[in-house]
Amino acid sequence: RWSSRRRRSLTGGGFAVPWILGVVTLTLLPMLASAALSLTRWDGLKWADIEWVALDNYADLLRFEPDTTPSGRDPWYFESLPGRPNDPRFYQALYNTTVYSFVAVPLGLAAALLLALLLDVRLRGIAVFRTLYYLPHVLAGVATVMVWSWLFNPRFGWVNAAIRAVYGALDPILVALGLEGTAAWPVPDWLYSPAACKPALVIMHVWTAGGAMLIFLAALQSVPASLYEAAAIDGAGRWKRFSRVTLPQITPAVYLNLILGMVYSLQAFSQPYLLQNR
């Protein structure tokens, strides 16, 4: 008996070894190396040129200088900050990332949950639709950016073409009502306008909601059917069954998707960088 238990333990440990090695070599060691290199000044070329500076890099990043702008405000001045940041790009990037995360993640979760509810049915061919909605989640980031940069192109992109078509349909209606037409209405410059690029990134994030959708779908299928039957007997409608039965049962999946979404969105770099530097 002891030998069998030990054999099972060794078997489980053997299956875990590749995963442990992958985490150590691909995650833990790079994290430790990044933390160590952040305490140095190095151009990345010669090991002999590494200079130990301790926390000076962080001090320079977080330091504020007195705001001496005589008239008007410095473009990087924030009302709640004690002065002008020594590295204003850091705080601007932090602000942009925070806004992006707190807008994109809730919208992505809502889209994923809606898709999961729509696809949680037993129909012939439903697996095809599940696969199609999941595919954007596994596409390479560079390929995704190339597709969306073409769709968001201000001159010939499909997104602005659809917006212009809507403007054209609304124009005669507004004119007939005695209102100003759509000739002066702006068309978003998705790629080059600071105000429009954030919604573009949010749309790209929502488009990749297939991963969260799959987790929600698994959670929905694990809800016992007896709970729905009991709720129906008590006279609960669709909304009551969703809010009182479905949502509490899939709360762990909601928390998981929320944490994963915030982690990925706060680490967003490749898509904004490639979208603006094609």
Residue 142 sits in a domain whose CATH number is 1.10.3720.10
Domain contains 239 = yes
How far apart, in whole angstroms, are the C-alpha atoms of residue 265 and residue 202? 10
For the chain, give the percent of residues with pLDDT over 70: 92
Domain contains 167 = no
What average pLDDT score do residues 165-175 get? 85
pLDDT above 70: residue 277: no
Highest average pLDDT, of 7-16, 110-119, 171-180, comes from 110-119
Domain contains 33 = no
Helix, strand, or coil (residue 213): helix
- The burial class, CB within 10 Å (0-12 / 13-18 / 19+), for 133 is buried
What average pLDDT score do residues 91-114 get? 92
pLDDT above 70: residue 81: no
Helix, strand, or coil (residue 241): helix
How far apart, in whole angstroms, are the C-alpha atoms of residue 9 and residue 14? 8
Domain contains 145 = yes
pLDDT for position 2: 58
| Enclosing domain of residue 103 | 91-154+189-278
What average pLDDT score do residues 205-228 get? 92
pLDDT above 80: residue 68: no
Confidence label for 251 from pLDDT (cuts 50, 70 and 90): very high
Residue 260 in tokens: 């994963």
Domain contains 59 = no
pLDDT for position 1: 53
Domain contains 225 = yes
Structural domains counted in the chain: 1
Distances, alpha carbon 16 to alpha carbons 2, 4, 21, 22, in Å: 21, 18, 9, 10
Domain contains 118 = yes
